[in-house]
Chains A and B, each alone.
Chain A
């Protein structure tokens, strides 16, 4: 409830501020009246889609983080340590290098990202599967290795690409919620909400998995099946986030961690709360990013990294922190 309130608040603030400030008092009239004013256009066509996209991506990344951390009982796991984002980034870089973006408009980059994410998911998944079971330790190590390989390949691509492509790659790699295609925003939002909904089918499994895989089995959970589907779900969410918004670090790591700290380990609450809080965090960071050095924009990935990292370190170093909190 509190989170939902905060979310609305952040949404309003985010609507108000930007390169052109609109005072809160003028917000409602500008939103619902005056079809042809500049404010109306800015709000409906620039800021609102951005907020929706921030919600979708932030929510999806956080829920993916909750799922992966819960599944692996490891607080360091997040979508980006699994190699998924590396694969997506590689896909996008290849697309930029081949000049697909210039030929076909806004679509090729997200699609290439999704393909890259899917390819790495399957590679990591099959490499770490043994005897019909998913080996979690292998999965983690292979995920990290794949991340490294992908980032090396990206550096390689950057080294051989043209200057204007280089700029595109760098800007994409820093992450941005700027998305000119309203259709993509709508798709991203729908997929994000749908995957959140689907993840609720597994909240009990996640709760039981917190006790360990063998214990979960004792409680009647078909562990292998659940792990497979949860992994797939997390992969879809990450793929979505990376392909439409680029690499936005820390959301999938920090938000689930915080939520566990404050709300405990019940995934029935955690999933929704993380989705809301992740969305909120990203929208908030994006608002800061596009106002702080206005009219120039700071990439949102930079803001999440700085803000999230600093807060995270602060919370972990507090003397009275609850030591057992990390799952």
Chain B
């Protein structure tokens, strides 16, 4: 599906938030020499500390950033040679930055059909309306259809964003911290939805996650980023190793197994608890 080889890419003129990543990197680059192979129908989680280059990778895949070296192949074709419109029919993005302006959820979801419009067609066809409707049904956002984007909650907004991405009928779905700022109900709701989409429609998913436990629970494989490089790429069991996590995140943790799913989960240990343990 997606084959990234030797990718180096970053910002020539860095936004302030990336300064941290750049100070540690060489020559001002945010990610260096990335090799990543994502198979069909896989859910890959991208984890790593703030500023380690997770979002930069997504931006390279969507051609927002041009690589300085290396290549990204999508189904064997270099994405640099693909037109933006053709790429948008295959890769959809749920990003953190979307401004939604003054529009209803339905109008917003319909924008997902944009790559399918011909040059001289302005009005959405029946097909587009149906696709948008079924995308909203799938994400359980149909009831919000006539609400304004600016008046719905964070969780509902995330659903609308995913609905728009699905309306693009992509083969690959990229999500940038889809559970950010959500309560646990919505976190699980969103990730269950992603899992369902993956299972029922064979959608390949790459998502950036901050929550290591959710990443371990929902992803088939994880890529651990550290200072703009991939530190480890493998199954959750391989990546969520307490030594590795302690080293990369510089935090003392304990890794246990979830009693139901048998997936690893990570517990942070506070300073007070460490002192207490050392005292014994």
Task: List residues 177-193 of chain A with CB under 8 A from any CB of chain B.
Answer: none
Contact B102 A264 (CB under 8 A): yes
Bound complex: CA A322 to CA B148 (Å): 12
Contact B102 A324 (CB under 8 A): yes
Contact A218 B95 (CB under 8 A): yes
Q: Mark A254-266, 1 if CB is under 8 A from B, else 0.
A: 0000001000111
Task: Name the contact of A203 in the complex, choosing from B86, B91, B92, B122 (C-beta under 8 A).
Answer: B122
Closest to B100 in A: A211
Contact B87 A219 (CB under 8 A): no
Task: List residues 77-115 of chain B with CB under 8 A from any CB of chain A.
Answer: 83-89, 91-93, 95, 97-103, 107, 111-112, 114-115
Contact A219 B119 (CB under 8 A): no
Shortest Cβ distance from residue B73 to the other chain A in the assembled complex, whole angstroms: 19
Bound complex: CA A322 to CA B63 (Å): 36
- Is there a chain A Cβ closer than 8 Å to B62's Cβ? yes
Bound complex: CA A324 to CA B123 (Å): 25
Shortest Cβ distance from residue B135 to the other chain A in the assembled complex, whole angstroms: 14
Task: Name the contact of A204 in the complex, choosing from B87, B99, B112, B122 (C-beta under 8 A).
Answer: B122
On chain A, the residues within 8 Å of B87 by CB distance are: 220
Task: Name the contact of A268 in the complex, choosing from B98, B101, B122 (C-beta under 8 A).
Answer: B122
Task: Name the contact of A219 in the complex, choosing from B59, B64, B88, B107 (C-beta under 8 A).
Answer: B88
Bound complex: CA A215 to CA B89 (Å): 14
Task: Name the contact of B101 in the complex, choosing from A219, A220, A327 (C-beta under 8 A).
Answer: A327
Bound complex: CA A327 to CA B100 (Å): 9
Task: Name the contact of A201 in the complex, choosing from B59, B101, B112, B119 (C-beta under 8 A).
Answer: B119
Given contacts A214-B64, A264-B103, A268-B122, contact A219 B98 (CB under 8 A): no
Closest to B115 in A: A220
Shortest Cβ distance from residue A127 to the other chain B in the assembled complex, whole angstroms: 17
Bound complex: CA A325 to CA B86 (Å): 33
How many A residues touch B, CB cutoff 8 Å? 29
Task: Name the contact of B88 in the complex, choosing from A212, A220, A268, A322 (C-beta under 8 A).
Answer: A220
Task: Name the contact of A208 in the complex, choosing from B102, B114, B119 (C-beta under 8 A).
Answer: B114
Contact A214 B102 (CB under 8 A): no
Bound complex: CA A204 to CA B110 (Å): 11
Task: List residues 135-174 of chain B with CB under 8 A from any CB of chain A.
Answer: 148, 150-151, 168
Contact A218 B102 (CB under 8 A): no
Contact A211 B111 (CB under 8 A): yes
Bound complex: CA A268 to CA B111 (Å): 13
Q: Mark A197-228, 1 if CB is under 8 A from B, else 0.
A: 00011011001101110110111111100000
Bound complex: CA A73 to CA B100 (Å): 11
Contact B114 A268 (CB under 8 A): no
On chain B, the residues within 8 Å of A212 by CB distance are: 97-99
- Is there a chain B Cβ closer than 8 Å to A131's Cβ? yes
Contact A220 B114 (CB under 8 A): yes
A-B contact pairs, 26 of them (CB 8 A): A73-B99, A200-B122, A201-B119, A208-B111, A211-B99, A211-B100, A214-B64, A217-B84, A218-B62, A218-B91, A218-B93, A219-B168, A220-B83, A220-B86, A220-B88, A220-B115, A222-B85, A260-B102, A264-B102, A264-B107, A265-B102, A265-B107, A266-B103, A266-B107, A322-B102, A327-B102
Given contacts A212-B99, A220-B83, 9 further A-B contacts (CB under 8 A): A210-B99, A214-B95, A215-B98, A219-B111, A220-B84, A265-B103, A268-B123, A324-B150, A327-B102
The 3 closest A-B pairs by CB, nearest first: A220-B88, A220-B115, A220-B85
